[in-house]
Chains A and B, each alone.
Chain A
Amino acid sequence: MPEISLHDEHGAAQQAAAPAAPLNVTAWSPGEDVIEVRRTPAPGPTRSVWRSFVETARGLKTTFSRIIEGPSTIQYPEEKVPVYPRFRGRHKLHRFEDTNLEKCVGCSLCAAACPADCIRVVAAENTPENRVSAGERYAAVYEINLSRCIFCGYCEVACPFDAITMGHDYELSDYSRADLIFTKEMLLAEPLERAPLRNEGE
């Protein structure tokens, strides 16, 4: 006899024929948070008339009150919702304010922490004539592929020198994918900050 699959007719008949196992199941009782919705019986004539007039009028009142309330649309390109200080937008690289040296020492911890694998760091040695960062080494190449970035902020957490932080820019669309690979110069440059900032508690 060939193998019997579960949905085979013969198999189903066999299962039905098997003696029923003793059921050890208690009746399911809804918790306190379950609301039971009861269907009312069909309304009578008086109730129908009431419903058709009063309930319709109630609906009309609701829609009319929306006019008085005014629209809640935010006219996006002109108006923007302010972002919170902790909003994770486009990355920024930082310099020391006094010495103007880059904070990034090219350790690649951010690249290691990145789950989307979108950061590429190539480190180089600082020399006395060409001192770029405060540490021994600096990032000769620092690229973030923003088309891959998921804005999780792990790079920011991983960075031991607070060299990379998440900024507030979120308008990052572009016409080609190549344009979304941000280089070190672009990340170091003062961002446009087109998004208004919301103060804490606002």
Chain B
Amino acid sequence: MMTLKVNGKDHQVDADADTPLLYVLRDDLKLNAAKFGCGLGQCGSCTVIVDGKAVLSCVTPMVLLEGKQVTTLEGLGSNSAPAPIQRAFMEEQAAQCGYCIAGMMMRAQALLQRTPKPTDEQIRGELVLHLCRCGTHMRIIRAVKRAARLMDTAALTPASEGSAR
């Protein structure tokens, strides 16, 4: 048993130390957002935020997460109370199948917490680790820029773990 802090809550998790975080999020905590894409750290669809940094949860074993704070897309906001990044992706209609989108959004969120007004180049550079097969890239870039404006307009401080709005 180990304690895993996800979206501001402590969870007692019974998983082997080598279990990648992704499986614990999906299988034990029943969270949908982080996706299995490759299990190899090549596509980014499993991305979550750990202590403010975007992390590939499919290649991050539980043993490395003791005492860390994990944020998933569910921790940012909800359908009825979406976070700026979620509002932005809805407003830009930035998805087709949407399977890669949760991971993209988490990396973008981490970028915006660090760099509130990123340039196009910074956004592209950051998202280069992520694959989208439907070809929604133009909208994703627009959505990240819109999220930056929404966060700025709302004069919100960079989101703290698990309570970002």
Partners in one complex: no
A positions within 8 Å CB-CB of B: none
B positions within 8 Å CB-CB of A: none
